[in-house]
Structures are given as structure tokens and as C-alpha cells.
């Protein structure tokens, strides 16, 4: 219930220790860490700006956007310069600060997430940066004695920084730009195309251009021979000058899958071939065709065929228009 008597003195002592560590370059931290850690970047969720104590990290120094920064202890530390910092992984951050009094290089998490359009996930022994749009891991960090040291950060927010093979870059921009055609990508990114570049085979594009979903398989068959006969006409043949046969008509028994083929010179011969086929079935097998199934071709729906169907009690079934 309340604080002990020594609490205020203890809090002031810790505040003075933290101030001394920042003002004097973190002497205690320098004793506990080696030079390798001193030169590495650290992910900092509390830093509003990316800051470093090494002027060699900047491509060029200029007037800083801020004159001072405020440490966690409330002390104001002077900023002696600013500019852009280019990381080894081709990441470039603008408006970074040069603060010689710092003992560590601080990579601002808020600045990185805004510049790269990413999110940061913190775990017990590592952290990762993930691109919001592509969900790709673009950065990693490792926890060592408390801080999360930067292992890798790769910029993805600009066209020239889409890393990977040519095929990977084409796939990346194909998805980013709403699945444009291969020819359109070639106009936008001519440098990514060579004579050996293969076209993109995108399953999403194929499905989106389909007028309907695929038909489910149907293996049902009739129970008696010649109760259902399928028929279709093929032609004209590309090479038919020798015997003048340009078409053929098929009759397939649904029960046995037995197939009869009649060659035709003209489509108008289809009714005569069907009459002959009907009589052959009746004479040789003692059966009568009950249902004829075909497409909506004019050879099957003409007047003479329809009259024959009515006279002999046949049912003519046709497929839906524009349907295979």
C-alpha cells in the first residue's frame, strides 16, 4: 500500500545513471559490448527517427530536420547533422539524424514501417518485417542480450527494387498491376523481356476469363442397347481433294460405346445416313432407337428429320446453345 521510503532515492539514482550513459556515449555499455555490436543497427520502437553516431553512414550530410532529440530520461541531446542513409541491402532512408552522443545505431521502427509499407512482428528471440501487400518477409532481426539487432532489411516499395529472377519480377508486377496481359507487361517493362522469356501462365487469369465453371463428370449410362444414341458431324476436312469426302457423321451407342462412321461429301447427306443407320439397327439387332442426342446443328433439326422423329416415336435431345 504505497511506496517504500527508499523508492524516490532509487528512482533518481536510476535516472542519473541513464542520463550519464547517453551523455558520455554509454561508457558502461561499451565495457559490456564489443565493437561489433557497437557498429550494428538496432530496431528501436521508441525512436521517432533513424539515428547514428557514425558520420560515414550518410551518403551526404546536410542541415538536420531537428536540432535536438529527447532521450528516455528527458535529457536533450544535440543533433549535429542529417541526411540519407544507404544500407548494404540497398535500403535508403531519408531524414536520418547524426547524433554523436549516441552509443548505438538506432533504426526507427515507425520510419521503416512507413517507408516500406510493412509491419513488424516481435518474438522472444527474433523479429521480422513483412510487406503488407505481398506478405513477403523483407527484414529480420535477432535478439541478443535484450536489443533486437538488424540482420537484413530489403526495400520493396519501388519498382527498381523488386529483387529476384526475371520470372519472379514479372510475376510480382503481374499481380501488383491487377493481372495485365503478357503484351502489356512487355510495354511497361521492356528490360525484363528477352527472346527466351516464356509467357506467364496464370491460373487466376484463365479462371477469370472462363464463361462458366467446368462441367462435372457424368458416367451414367443407359441400361439397354440403342435406347440412347449420340451423334455429331465433323468437317470440313482440310485435305479432301482425292476422294471428295469432306465430312463424316458419328453414331455412338451410349450403352456399349459402339461407334458407326459414315463419310459424307455434303452435310445434306446426314438425314439419309441416319435413316439407313436406323433401319440397319432394326434389321440386324431387332432394336429401335429411342433417343437421339446431338447438338443444334441444322442437319439434325431440319424439317425432314423432325418429321421422321415424330413418325417413329423418337425423342430428339439437343445440347444447350453454345455448350460443348
Q: Are residues 115 and 42 in the same domain?
A: yes
Q: Are residues 259 and 205 both part of a single domain?
A: no
pLDDT at 174: 86
Give the CATH number of the domain where residue 250 resides: 3.30.420.10
Q: What is the pLDDT of residue 1?
A: 42
Q: Which of 157, 172, 196 is the last residue of a domain?
A: 157
Is 121 in the same domain as 254? no
In tens, the pLDDT along 13-69 reads 666 665 665 555 545 444 444 444 557 888 888 888 888 888 888 887 888 888 888
Cell of 132: 503488407
Q: Tell me: do 189 and 309 sit in the same domain.
A: no
Quick check: 74 pLDDT over 50? Answer: yes
Cis peptide before 320 (omega within 30 of 0): no
Which pLDDT score, from 0 to 100, does residue 165 have?
Answer: 63
Non-local CB neighbours of 48 within 8 Å, separated by 6+ positions = 69, 108, 110, 111
Kindly give, in sequence order, each residue whose CB lies less than 8 Å from that of residue 52, ignoring residues fewer than 6 positions away.
58, 85, 96, 97, 98, 99, 102, 105, 106
The tally of domains found in the chain comes to 3
Name which of 178-187, 194-203, 299-308, 312-321 the model is least confident about: 194-203
Residue 218 lies in a domain: no
Give dist(CA 144, CA 40) in Å, integer.
12
Give Cα 120 distance to the centre of its chain.
21
Task: Based on the fold, state whether residues 17 and 152 are members of the same structural domain.
Answer: yes
153 and 18 in a single domain? The answer is: yes
Amino acid at each position: 500500500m504505497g511506496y517504500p521510503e527508499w523508492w524516490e532515492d532509487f528512482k533518481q539514482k536510476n535516472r542519473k545513471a541513464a542520463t550519464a550513459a547517453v551523455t558520455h556515449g554509454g561508457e558502461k555499455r561499451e565495457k559490456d559490448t564489443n565493437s561489433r555490436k557497437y557498429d550494428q543497427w538496432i530496431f528501436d520502437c521508441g525512436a521517432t527517427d533513424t539515428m547514428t553516431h557514425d558520420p560515414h553512414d550518410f551518403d551526404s550530410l546536410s542541415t538536420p530536420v531537428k536540432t535536438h532529440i529527447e532521450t528516455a530520461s528527458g535529457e536533450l541531446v544535440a543533433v549535429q547533422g542529417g541526411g540519407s542513409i544507404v544500407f548494404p541491402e540497398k535500403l535508403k532512408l531519408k531524414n536520418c539524424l547524426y547524433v554523436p552522443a549516441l552509443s548505438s545505431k538506432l533504426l526507427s521502427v515507425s520510419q521503416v514501417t512507413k517507408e516500406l509499407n510493412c509491419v513488424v512482428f516481435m518474438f522472444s528471440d527474433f523479429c521480422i518485417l513483412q510487406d503488407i501487400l505481398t506478405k513477403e518477409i523483407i527484414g529480420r532481426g535477432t535478439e541478443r542480450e535484450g536489443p533486437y539487432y538488424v540482420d537484413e532489411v530489403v526495400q520493396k516499395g519501388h519498382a527498381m527494387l523488386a529483387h529476384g529472377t526475371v520470372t519472379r519480377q514479372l510475376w510480382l508486377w503481374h499481380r501488383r498491376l491487377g493481372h495485365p496481359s503478357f503484351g502489356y507487361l512487355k510495354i511497361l517493362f521492356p528490360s525484363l523481356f528477352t527472346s527466351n522469356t516464356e509467357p506467364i501462365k496464370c491460373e487466376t487469369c484463365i479462371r477469370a476469363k472462363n464463361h462458366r465453371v467446368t462441367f462435372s463428370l457424368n458416367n451414367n449410362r443407359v441400361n439397354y442397347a440403342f435406347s440412347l444414341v449420340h451423334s455429331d458431324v465433323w468437317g470440313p476436312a482440310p485435305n479432301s481433294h482425292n476422294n471428295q469426302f469432306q465430312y463424316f457423321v458419328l453414331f455412338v451407342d451410349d450403352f456399349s460405346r459402339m461407334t458407326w462412321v459414315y463419310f459424307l461429301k455434303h452435310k445434306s447427306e446426314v438425314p439419309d445416313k441416319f435413316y439407313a443407320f436406323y433401319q440397319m439397327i432394326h434389321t440386324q439387332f431387332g432394336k429401335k432407337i429411342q433417343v437421339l442426342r446431338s447438338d443444334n446443328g441444322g442437319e439434325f433439326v431440319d424439317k425432314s428429320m423432325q418429321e421422321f422423329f415424330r413418325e417413329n416415336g423418337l425423342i430428339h435431345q439437343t445440347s444447350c446453345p453454345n455448350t460443348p
